[in-house]
């Protein structure tokens, strides 16, 4: 099961494994009118990434889809807090 999950979450590499297809990051700036954004994962900082669902966007935690060019913002990540 571990290998199946790894192949689902990791892209192709020399031995079948590579970098994560989906990763978390922080959206530090968001303009709901122009969709301008700033996103950081700690090591990298991007501006004006494409957004899958802009009506749901806000600043805070987001999920990014790694693509050959630039990441795509899949949307915000909501964490349950009791």
Q: Indicate the domain borders of the chain.
A: 19-76
Residue 49 CB coordination number (10 Å): 19
As a whole number of angstroms, the distance between CA 57 and CA 35 comes to 9
Contact 38, 45 (CB under 8 A): yes
Closest CA to 71 of 33, 13, 6, 43: 43
pLDDT at 21: 84
Average pLDDT over residues 36-57: 94
pTM, to two decimals: 0.73
Q: What is the mean pLDDT of the chain?
A: 83
**Is the pLDDT assigned to residue 4 strictly greater than 60?**
no
């Amino acid at each position: 099961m571990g290998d199946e999950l790894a192949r689902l979450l990791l892209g192709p590499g020399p031995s079948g494994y590579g970098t994560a297809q989906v990763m978390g990051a922080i959206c530090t700036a968001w303009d709901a009118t122009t969709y301008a954004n700033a996103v950081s994962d700690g090591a990298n900082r991007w501006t004006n990434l494409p957004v899958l669902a802009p009506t749901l966007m806000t600043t805070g935690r987001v999920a990014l889809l790694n693509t050959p060019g630039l990441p795509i913002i899949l949307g915000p990540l909501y964490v349950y807090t009791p």
